Structures are given as C-alpha cells and as structure tokens.
Amino acid sequence: MVQKKIKILFTIPNFDTAGSGKVVYDLVSNLDRTIFEPEICCFHDKGTFMDEINTLQVKVYLFPFAINYRPFFTFPFRLIKTICFFRKYKFDIIHSWHWSSDFSEPLAAKLAGIPWVFTKKSMGWGNKAWKWRSSLSSKIITINSDMKSFYSGNTLKKVIAIPLGVNISYYHPQFKSSESFSEEIIINENDFVIVSIVNLIPVKGIEVLINAVIELEKPNIKLLIVGNDKGAYANSLKIMTEGIDSIQFLGKKTDVRPYHAIADVFVIPTLELGEGLPVAPLEAMASGKIVIGSNVSGVKDILEPFPDCIFQPNNVESLKECLLRIQHMKQEEYKQLGKDMRSRVERMYSIESFIESHTDLYKKMLSKNRY
C-alpha cells in the first residue's frame, strides 16, 4: 500500500526580498518528495525572487492567510474564509514563516484542525499577540539561543531549536579576483576590502561601519556595501559618504559570491535589538571568509567560537579595533581563521542538517496518525 504524502503548506507574506524567501526556497526544494508534498501560500506574486519560487514546480496560492483584527465585529466572519481555505486543500501541516505577531493564522489553523508550526525569525516580543500566537501553535522553531528565554511552562515544551542552513556546495571558497567586475568597483591589489551584504534598514547599523572606515583614515581600506540601496535610510548613508571614494554602494545583486571572493573581511554591524539568525554572514563563512559582527542576538551565536571577531554594538572604536586586528594578522593565522569559519558552517549550519531536522519534526508532528 502506497502511503499518502505529508501535505505541508508554507506560508510567507511575500518574496520581495530573498532573505526568508531563500530559506523557504531551500526548504521546499530539498524536502524528500517521496514523503512530502510541499505547497506555498503568499499574499501576492510580486518580487524578483518569485521567479525562483516558480522554478520549484509546486503549487503557489495567492491568499491573505493572515488578516487584520480590526474591525473586531467583522473579524470572525473574515476568519471563516481562512478556515475554509485551510480545510478545502486538506493540509496536514501548516508551517508559517510570517515575521509578525499575527495570531489570526494559527487561530484559523486551530479551528480547521490542522497542526500549525511557526519559525520565530526575529527578536520581536512583548505584546499579547506574540503570546497568543505561541499558545495556538503546535510547535515553535527558534533559530538562536536567546529566543528560548521568551517561553515558559507549557509553551516552552513546544520549542525546538533549528538554526537556519546554507548550501555549502554553492557557497565555497573561491579564487580572489576583481577582473570580472570591470569598472563597477574600484579596488587595487593591496587594498584591504571590507564587504557587507545587507538589506539596508536602520537595525543593521551600517552607519557604524561607515564611521569606522572613515575614522580609520586609511586609503587602502575599501568598503563595499551590497544590497538594496533605495529608501530613506540608504539615502542618509549615501549622504554620509559623499565624496569618499573608498566607500561604494553596489545595489542589490542576485549572486553575491563574487563579492565574497574579493573580500578580506565580511562585517555585520547589527545594533542592540539583534537578529533572528542572519544568513548573509553564514554564506560568507561558508565561502571561507572571516566574518566579524556585533555582540547581539543571532550574530553572537554564529561567532561564538571566535570571540576576537565580535565587537560591541553601536561602538565605532570597538569595530575599528576588530578591523585592525584582522588586517594585521599574520598570513597563516588569517588563512586558518577562514578555514575554521568554513568548518563551523559545515558542522552547525549546513542545508543538509537544516532539512534533516525539519523532516524529523514534521514526521513527529503527525506520528500519532501515521508513524
């Protein structure tokens, strides 16, 4: 007798950016199709990364799976639409990658009788909605060590730690060369190249990195900022760097590996609020690059074995010291540190481990019925 596949719906608001979208892509594309039948639901089909999602050849629903609570008197009637949607397609599990504290989605899943799990992607916490969202869940996936402190009692029993993973075959050490960039970037052979691949929003703290480079006053230190450079915050950073040729904004790139290749160091200067678990530094580490980052949630997990690569958040002096320490390393020490960082990703953050952990979780969630 052929066993029915486990039908999982992955919900995510959009694929406008390739952050969480890329993680969902990796998860869906690597799940064993002999066991699972993955499908995706998002609010709309906009976003450049949507083209990548369409290559997965899975069903994609465009549906508002999370709804506004207000006005309260119409909320139950609007929620019925979501309940009916979940029931209609007979999902076995719903896995939410929604970043917010919304509880309408887990409530609809609960009333539809479908196990619902969510990945806690950010460090947002404190309002009642987060507690309701957690209470309604079947399982809660945390991606850094600090998140566990949010939960207690029966809710804590639902928590399982599964850090994000990266494709260590796709991201691997490459020969350092800037020839393929033509005139896009301006670096010389003896330059010390700092790269930060980042979605330019205030919590990322890029102004701290910019100020550190400016204050170091070293012509051979070049900073390349790769990522969406549109918006008020990005514009304020560009104003800071007007007339400074050593700092370049390169915009969003589909393939960031060439920028890993030319980097001497990768920097993630996130501010005190912290992150869930940033993927960009993991990709750089998998590429054999030295990563330095601020001592905040998410980042400090990644760099735990490398205390000399951690600086204090929003502290220009601390970051400058860290940069100079890397720049003045002996060649052998520098190369070994890059290898050690690659090894950490292989051990702790590989896509294989990420998929295996999710596979085990999904099976256990349905064990009473099927296993």
How high is the mean pLDDT of the chain? 94
Answer whether residue 297 shows pLDDT above 50. Answer: yes
Q: What pLDDT is recorded for position 180?
A: 57
**What pTM value is reported for the model?**
0.93
pLDDT in tens, 41-51: 999 998 878 88
Q: In what order do the strands lie in the sheet with 247-251?
A: 247-251, 221-226, 192-197, 265-268, 291-294, 310-311
Answer whether residue 325 shows pLDDT above 50. Answer: yes
Residue 51, phi then psi, degrees to nearest 5? -60, -40
pLDDT in tens, 339-348: 999 999 999 9
Q: Read off the pLDDT band of 8 (50, 70, 90).
A: very high
CB burial of residue 328 (10 Å; 0-12, 13-18, 19+): exposed
Q: What pLDDT is recorded for position 177?
A: 65
**Distance between CA atoms of 305 and 203, rounded to whole angstroms?**
24
Amino acid at 298: G
Q: Could you give the percent of the chain with pLDDT greater than 70?
A: 96
Q: What pLDDT is recorded for position 332?
A: 98
Answer whether residue 371 shows pLDDT above 50. Answer: no
Q: What pLDDT is recorded for position 17?
A: 65
Amino acid at 348: M
Decide the pairing of beta strands 159-161 and 192-197. Answer: unpaired
Q: Which domains does the chain have, with CATH numbers?
A: 6-165+350-370 (3.40.50.2000), 179-348 (3.40.50.2000)
pLDDT in tens, 187-238: 888 999 999 999 999 999 999 999 999 999 999 999 999 998 999 999 999 9
Q: What pLDDT is recorded for position 179?
A: 59
Amino acid at 351: I
Integer-rounded Cα radius of gyration of the chain: 22
**Distance between CA atoms of 23 and 166, rounded to whole angstroms?**
8
DSSP bridge partners of 192: 221
pLDDT in tens, 158-167: 999 999 999 9
